[in-house]
Amino acid sequence: MKRDKIAHKLAAVLTTGILVGESTAAFATGTNFKDVVSKITDSSSTLPNLISTVAYVGGIGLGVAGVFKLKQHVDNPGQHPMKDGLIRLGAGGALLALPYLTTAMMGTVGATSSGASIPTFAAVSF
């Protein structure tokens, strides 16, 4: 019980530290709409890196937990079903694949890691 409370406090401190470390000036004030949009874009430019980091750490954690659950199943199959370990391994694999998939999706829709690029079209003359 006490160990759980320490783990929760540690997780809260780490989450707060990551969010504070990734934050920039997010005040969306300006004289016109272009300034406001520019400041919002600048402040959210590090969000994909934060999501990738969280996905990698979570994926590795779930993978390790899945291996331990499978070990528990091998030791005592009656008490620990195999599905628990397999679910954790599957979720860990999905989290590890998330940064690659988001990069592929951004490449498909024409976005870059620093923000969406607005396509320009040539004037069509008839």
Please write the tens of the pLDDT for every residue from 88-97.
999 999 999 9
Res. 111 pLDDT band, cuts 50 70 90: low
What whole-number distance in Å separates Cα of residue 39 and Cα of residue 26? 7
The widest CA-to-CA distance across the chain, in whole angstroms, is 76
How confident is the prediction for the chain on average, in pLDDT? 79
Q: pLDDT per residue over 51-84, tens digit each?
A: 888 899 999 999 999 999 999 999 999 999 999 9
Question: In the prediction, which pLDDT does 59 show?
Answer: 94
Q: CA 19 to CA 15: how far, in whole Å?
A: 6
> Which residue is it, tokens 């607005």?
118
- The pLDDT score that the predictor gives to residue 126 is 46
48 vs 67, residue with greater confidence: 67
